[in-house]
Amino acid sequence: MTAIRVEALRKSHGRFEAVKGISFEVAAGEVFALLGRNGAGKTTTVEVLAGFLRPDGGSVRVLGLDPSTERAEVRRRTGIMLQEAGFFPDLTVAATVDAWRGFTAAPRPRDEALELTGLAGRAGVRVRQLSGGEKRRLDLALALLGRPDVLFLDEPTTGMDPEGRAATWEVVRELARRGTAVLLTTHYLEEAQRLASAMAIMDGGEIVASGGMAETLAARGGRVSFRLPAAVAAANLPLPVTVDGDVAVCRAEDPDLAAQTLLSWAAERGLRLPGLEVRAATLEDLFLDLPTSAR
């Protein structure tokens, strides 16, 4: 079932067109990563989907509803974690969750929300005393309160320590397993690669690359890297490489085959290729391969 549908969406801020006719879909139970450098138009897109901004062109549907005209119903069934959270600094964590529970239909119990986000031990602490990462966790706890069918996460793990990040990923995975559609924006490409099964990369308000995560990465092939022996000139290797310092990198559709070719070539000459590493393409490779303006 399609949970989020964006068709030819356009949105300007004043005269500046931040989103220029983008389309994508997110299915129930899917984590979809919307990526792109600062100012690409990701937050504007999320704000339209959440009903904070009206589209100037095209259409968006969340759970089949129009967020600008059916905002209350969309709000009831979505959770949202924006970059800037508006907390009351003098309230405790527990009081903040209680206040939000008051606005939420059939909310989760407070302790469950705090437990899920690793804040159980911080219930009595005032919001002003939380670290940046803990504030993000509180924001997530509030976004989860209504057991949403759709969750918008705008850079959810910024400022979190590795443990907090891993715990957040686990919460997001569990929600997706239970059918929540998750739209994630992040600058952490490893996070996107681990969490999302599909993605779109935006640049200057347009989508410049999109597709299933596994399929897109598999289509990029992979790379073999090793330290170039002093006696070997890169041009003499049996496959083309780029050299960075003393590390040679060979991009290949089939990196295992490329590694075999390089190793046999080295063995025939009694050479070793120290530090040889074979790996599939990452989202970072894909990003770095985009035209400069698209990063």
Ligand X SMILES: Nc1ncnc2c1ncn2[C@@H]1O[C@H](COP(=O)(O)OP(=O)(O)OP(=O)(O)O)[C@@H](O)[C@H]1O
E strand or H helix that includes residue 261: helix 255-268
Residues 35-94 that bind ligand X (CB under 6 A): 36, 38-44
The edge-to-edge listing of strands for the beta sheet with 31-35 is: 78-81, 150-154, 181-185, 31-35, 198-203, 206-212
164 touching ligand X, by CB under 6 A: no
Distances (CA, A) of 105 to 36, 76, 91, 151: 34, 7, 22, 16
Distance in angstroms (rounded) separating the CA atoms of residues 185 and 222: 25
Under the binding rule (CB under 6 A), the answer on residue 13 touching ligand X is yes
Least CB distance to ligand X at residue 201 (A) = 11
Pairing of strands 2-13, 277-280: unpaired
Q: How far is the CB of 183 from ligand X (least distance, A)?
A: 12
Nearest to 97 by CA among 129, 128, 60, 143: 143
Residue 48 or residue 140: which is nearer to ligand X going by CB?
48
Residue 14 vs 270, nearer CB to ligand X = 14
CA torsion 68-74-80-86 (nearest 10°) is 70
**Residue 96 or residue 157: which is nearer to ligand X going by CB?**
157
Least gap, CB of 15 to ligand X (angstroms): 9
Enumerate residues 15-44 that contact ligand X by CB under 6 A.
Answer: 16, 18, 36, 38-44
Cβ proximity to ligand X, 18 vs 250, nearer residue = 18
- The count of chain residues that interact with ligand X, using the rule CB under 6 A, is 12
Rule CB under 6 A: is residue 293 a binding residue for ligand X?
no
Nearer to ligand X, 39 or 64 (CB): 39
CA distances from 51 to 65, 66, 104, 205, 281 (A): 11, 8, 17, 19, 36
Task: Give me the least distance between CB of 237 and ligand X, in Å please.
Answer: 39
Per CB under 6 A, residues contacting ligand X are 13-14, 16, 18, 36, 38-44
